[in-house]
Amino acid sequence: MKASQESTNTILNEILENIEKNRLPLPTQPKIAMAIQELCENPNVSIEELNEVIGRDPGLTARIIRIANSPLVRGRVSINTLKTAISRLGTSFVANMSIGLAMEQLFCAKNKVIEEKMRQAWQHSGEVAAASYVLANFSKAFPPEEAMLAGLLHEIGILPILTFAEKNSEIVQDPELFEILIQKFSHDLGESILTSWQFPRYIAEVPKLMADMYRNIPQPDLADIVLVAKLHALKNTNSPLNKINKIDLPAYQRLKLDPLKDLTDDPEIAKKLDEVSTLFA
Question: What was the pLDDT predicted at 199?
Answer: 97
Residue 58 pLDDT greater than 70, yes or no: yes
Question: What was the pLDDT predicted at 280?
Answer: 87
Burial 199-211 (b: 16+ CB within 10 A, else e): beeebbbbbbbbb
Residue 60 lies in a domain: no
Q: How many separate domains does the chain show? A: 1
Give the model confidence (pLDDT) of 220-278 as tens digits: 999 999 999 999 999 989 888 989 999 999 999 999 999 999 999 999 999 999 999 99
Residue 61 lies in a domain: no
Can you give the pTM of this predicted structure? 0.92
Q: Of 21-30, 70-79, 212-221, which one has max mean pLDDT?
A: 212-221
Residues 6+ apart with CB under 8 A from 228: 131, 135, 251, 252, 255, 257
Residue 244 lies in a domain: yes
Residue 57 pLDDT greater than 90, yes or no: yes
Residue 5 pLDDT greater than 70, yes or no: no
CB 106 within 8 A of CB 128: no
Mean residue pLDDT of the chain comes to 92
Residue 64 lies in a domain: no
Structural domain of 184: 5-25+108-280
Tell me the C-alpha distance between 210 and 183, whole Å.
Answer: 12
CB 270 within 8 A of CB 232: no
Mean pLDDT of 192-197: 95
Mean pLDDT of 17-34: 89
Question: What was the pLDDT predicted at 86?
Answer: 97
CB 193 within 8 A of CB 157: yes
Residue 250 lies in a domain: yes
Residues 6+ apart with CB under 8 A from 230: 128, 131, 151, 154, 210, 241
Residue 94 lies in a domain: no
CATH, residue 112: 1.10.3210.10
